[in-house]
Chain A
């Protein structure tokens, strides 16, 4: 186990202990803040309905993430190669991206229904922007001397893209991909809250209506764990791919 991971786990354990202690010591009512032990017990007891919800949200987030990442990288490559097109499109793209995601969510529900498709589209949209902007930044920030060298070897623009720009941009692409993991979970859950028949977001929304706050916390716990696992997995992958940093 790495030192950072051990410290992180230790910190989390201390935080949970403090939480448990404060709730018990001051007798905080569970509808304001339940103790971690209560949340764990509820999660286990309701596993039959919570696990499928977690699976549904995870699938939506993952599918949207994959689509968004691929489209974001491809669009960035295209706009890095075509400067006139970039000058035309970039201001529009940035303007669309400046509006908070939640504002588009009702439209997505209207166009793509309350099934998984609307969540996948929303996640892809947000991940796509994040990855696109990071990738474009990396592709354009490449050392001009390196580009000159490859051109002196007779490389075409595509050759420079493949052998220099793209690998040089990998650290930036990786940052976009890492940030996007958490965003993909947030967007999937928020969109589920606005209209859905499954998933953790929908579970939270429903539990609030039923005043079942332990169930809300149980869903939040699972969402956090899923998000953390996703973030960690991409981080591990990143360290393998971008080994020279």
Chain B
């Protein structure tokens, strides 16, 4: 490993306090768009270094919640949002949380490396230094040999890895990932899930991960949270006591199946509600 990557490693792992300290805490966070109530008093607390997955029917307000956490959208007055125990008013969150939106949004005029360092560059880091660090991490993100390619030349899975690398290089403790693997085929998705867990175990970020795939939610998460049909709120918060590191064989284990059954019921109930309210 090069010096730059080691520095990043140290930065990310050494300072991590014991798991359990609350990193992010939401209390009654709500948001309406005109007459449409998208988010209804969300209560959620995430510990440092925790991997929490969020699952719910489409249109229930998951992306809205992420936009609020990223500081892009003001929540309705009344709720509280604490980051590291301190109140975080909407404007103050910009630039403090690493946000990966649903689409990869890679810039077609930038190479893989230059897309990956976008956030670092905006934060004022020297382009040359940022590139050097990104180059040393390319292999880890499965992008070795593609550093100077343009996004148009990459497969869907590779594009997502570039977007993830951009999110990781935006050196923030909390990462919001909005359905990062939603558009990938099943095989690629399974590979990416294990790869992401591997990365997470090394870099230990606090992750909130949106998905509409129950297997994925259980396989990845320390906790799975279920959001109700619109107006969205957290209706179930289930700890996943499966040991790590998790192997693909886990997907067919009885304890996995039991969890899946339990969560499937909760999600199905919400999906039916959404279906009844909005039609197919």
Interface status of A146 (Cβ within 8 A of chain B): yes
In the complex formed, the residue of B with least CB distance to A242 is B109
Are A148 and B72 touching (Cβ within 8 A)? yes
Residues of B within 8 A of A152 (CB): 70-72, 94-95, 97, 99
A interface residues with partner B (beta carbon < 8 Å): 143, 145-146, 148-155, 159, 163-164, 167-168, 170, 243-244
Are A163 and B72 touching (Cβ within 8 A)? no
Are B101 and A155 touching (Cβ within 8 A)? no
A-B contact pairs, 6 of them (CB 8 A): A146-B105, A149-B105, A150-B122, A152-B72, A163-B118, A244-B108
In the complex formed, the residue of B with least CB distance to A159 is B122
Residues of A within 8 A of B72 (CB): 148, 151-152
Docked pose: A143 CA to B102 CA in angstroms:
13
Residues of A within 8 A of B45 (CB): none
Residues of B within 8 A of A164 (CB): 107
Are B107 and A153 touching (Cβ within 8 A)? no
Interface string of B93-120 (1 = CB under 8 A from A): 0111101010101011100000000110
Docked pose: A126 CA to B103 CA in angstroms:
40
Docked pose: A146 CA to B95 CA in angstroms:
15
Are A154 and B101 touching (Cβ within 8 A)? no
The B114-135 residues at the A interface (CB cut-off 8 A) are 118-119, 121-123
Docked pose: A151 CA to B107 CA in angstroms:
15
Q: How many positions in chain B have a CB within 8 Å of any CB in the partner chain?
A: 23
Residues of A within 8 A of B97 (CB): 152
Are B109 and A154 touching (Cβ within 8 A)? no
Residues of B within 8 A of A154 (CB): 94-96, 119, 122-123
Are B152 and A143 touching (Cβ within 8 A)? no
Are A151 and B103 touching (Cβ within 8 A)? no
What is the minimal beta-carbon distance from B188 to any residue of chain A, in angstroms? 23
Main secondary structure of the interface of B (DSSP, over half): loop
Docked pose: A149 CA to B94 CA in angstroms:
10
What is the minimal beta-carbon distance from B177 to any residue of chain A, in angstroms? 13
Residues of A within 8 A of B67 (CB): 148
Residues of A within 8 A of B118 (CB): 150, 153, 163
Are B105 and A153 touching (Cβ within 8 A)? no
Interface status of B170 (Cβ within 8 A of chain A): yes
Are B122 and A163 touching (Cβ within 8 A)? yes
Partner of A153, one of B103, B108, B123, B150: B123
Task: Indicate whether A167 sits within 8 Å of B109 (C-beta atoms), given known contacts A148-B72, A151-B72, A152-B71.
Answer: yes
Name the residue in B97, B103, B109 with the highest tally of chain A Cβ atoms < 10 Å from its Cβ.
Answer: B109
Partner of A244, one of B70, B96, B121, B150: B150
Docked pose: A154 CA to B97 CA in angstroms:
10
Are A149 and B123 touching (Cβ within 8 A)? no
Are A145 and B103 touching (Cβ within 8 A)? yes
Given contacts A153-B95, A244-B109, 13 further A-B contacts (CB under 8 A): A145-B103, A145-B105, A148-B72, A149-B101, A150-B118, A151-B94, A152-B72, A152-B97, A154-B94, A154-B95, A155-B122, A164-B107, A167-B107
Docked pose: A146 CA to B151 CA in angstroms:
15
Residues of A within 8 A of B71 (CB): 151-152
Partner of A149, one of B96, B99, B152: B99
Docked pose: A127 CA to B109 CA in angstroms:
26
The B15-74 residues at the A interface (CB cut-off 8 A) are 67, 70-72
What is the minimal beta-carbon distance from A135 to any residue of chain B, in angstroms? 16
What is the minimal beta-carbon distance from A210 to any residue of chain B, in angstroms? 54
Residues of B within 8 A of A170 (CB): 109
Docked pose: A143 CA to B103 CA in angstroms:
11
What is the minimal beta-carbon distance from A239 to any residue of chain B, in angstroms? 14
Residues of A within 8 A of B96 (CB): 154
Which 10 residue pairs spanning A and B have beta carbons closest together?
Answer: A154-B95, A244-B108, A153-B119, A152-B99, A152-B70, A153-B122, A155-B122, A148-B72, A167-B109, A146-B105
In the complex formed, the residue of B with least CB distance to A155 is B122
Residues of A within 8 A of B170 (CB): 153
What is the minimal beta-carbon distance from B145 to any residue of chain A, in angstroms? 20
Interface string of B160-195 (1 = CB under 8 A from A): 000000000010000000000000000000000000
Residues of A within 8 A of B107 (CB): 146, 163-164, 167-168
Residues of B within 8 A of A243 (CB): 109
